[in-house]
C-alpha cells in the first residue's frame, strides 16, 4: 500500500510546478532527438511525420488542459 501522507505538506504551487515539469520533460527529449531517429522507418520525410511537432502540440494541449482545470 502506498503512503503519500508525507506529501500533504507540499504547497499546491510546488506540486503544480512538478507536474508541469513532467509535461516538459518529453518535449525536451523529443527536441534533442536527431533526424535519423525521428524518421526511422518512414518512407518519406514529410512534415506530419516529424515527432518534434507532435510532441510539442501534445505537450501544449496537456499543459493547457492542466492549467485550465
Task: Specify the higher pLDDT residue, 1 or 6.
Answer: 6
10-64: per-residue pLDDT in tens? 999 998 999 899 989 988 998 899 988 888 888 888 888 888 898 899 999 999 9
Helix (H) or strand (E) holding 69: none
Predicted confidence at residue 11, as pLDDT, reads: 93
Predicted confidence at residue 65, as pLDDT, reads: 92
- Locate the domains of the chain by residue range: 35-69
Distances (CA, A) of 68 to 20, 37, 59: 13, 34, 14
CA 6/CA 33 separation, integer angstroms: 37
DSSP for 1-66, written as a single string? ----GGGGGS-HHHHHHHHHHHHHHHHHHHHTS-HHHHTTT-SS--GGG-HHHHHHHHHHHHHHHH
Amino acid at each position: 500500500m502506498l503512503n503519500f501522507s508525507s506529501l500533504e505538506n507540499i504547497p499546491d504551487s510546488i506540486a503544480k510546478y512538478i507536474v508541469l515539469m513532467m509535461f516538459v520533460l518529453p518535449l525536451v527529449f523529443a527536441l534533442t532527438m536527431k533526424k535519423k531517429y525521428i524518421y526511422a522507418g518512414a518512407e518519406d520525410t514529410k512534415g506530419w511525420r516529424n515527432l518534434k511537432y507532435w510532441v510539442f502540440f501534445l505537450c501544449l494541449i496537456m499543459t493547457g488542459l492542466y492549467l485550465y482545470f
